[in-house]
A = this chain, B = another copy of it.
Amino acid sequence: MGAWGTGLYSGDFALDMRSTIRAVARLPVYLRSLLEVAATGTTTISSETLAEMAGVNAAKVRKDLSYLGSFGTRGVGYDVQYLLFQMSAELGLNQEWPVVIVGVGNLGHALANYRGFGERGFPVGALVDADPARRGERVGNLVVHGMDDLDEIVGTHGIAIGVIATPASAAQDVADRLVAAGIRAILNFAPAMVTVPDTVSLRKVDLAVELQILSFYQQRQLPAATA
């Protein structure tokens, strides 16, 4: 039975949670491969094929998928459509999750114009900036709001996820305000450590860190072990 439940055992997730953050992080990669396969009309796929597409070990694929439930058929493989359905459901991708971007400087502007979020089910619902001078500025088809509007914005737009794209110095304060406004998932692009209550999910992306890691291996003239 799925460690993450199939709806039959709601409530015991935390107890029965045999999965790991790493397994969760791989699910979207499998999903991508499945979508690719589905587009060719293929109806079933083996863990081996899926593993090759995702660039991982086949046993890992099977174990990761087993956390979702026993969706495969022995001797056959996985039904592509069924697995897609189950995985989308587990990842919560059957609904849209509007995001608010806080900080409309260089990066925030860039992210606001990036259509990739919306295309994948995370439409940018609102923009917020602490600088009063930016208030009212148009970016794409959105208007920049002040920080004080955060509570209202989160409510009216059904915002689920906050994206921090401020300078490092403002990141913690922004995180606190997002949490206070009821946001329970944050993606932090600011190059700063941010802490949140443990009821809130937090992921971090630091573009410069990625480049610095490459620079390290470049410097050493060693290839980086792929992360």
Contact = CB atoms under 8 A, between A and B. Distances in A.
Number of copies: 2
Given A55-B193, A117-B211, A184-B223, 16 more contacts: A13-B222, A21-B225, A21-B227, A24-B213, A25-B209, A91-B219, A107-B116, A110-B110, A122-B215, A161-B214, A161-B215, A185-B217, A200-B223, A203-B214, A205-B207, A205-B210
B120 A114 contact: no
30 contacts: A21-B224, A21-B227, A24-B213, A25-B209, A25-B213, A28-B208, A31-B212, A55-B195, A90-B219, A91-B212, A91-B215, A91-B216, A92-B215, A93-B215, A97-B211, A106-B113, A107-B114, A110-B110, A114-B207, A120-B208, A120-B211, A122-B215, A184-B218, A185-B218, A187-B211, A198-B223, A200-B223, A201-B217, A201-B222, A205-B210
B4 A220 contact: yes
A224 to B, nearest CB: 3
Contacts of A120: 208, 211-212
Q: Which 7 interchain pairs have the tightest Cβ spacing?
A: A92-B219, A110-B110, A201-B224, A120-B208, A185-B214, A28-B212, A92-B215
Nearest to A220: B13
A58 to B, nearest CB: 15
Contacts of A37: none
A134 interface: no
Nearest to A203: B210
Contacts of A216: 24, 27, 90-92
A214 B201 contact: yes
A130 interface: no
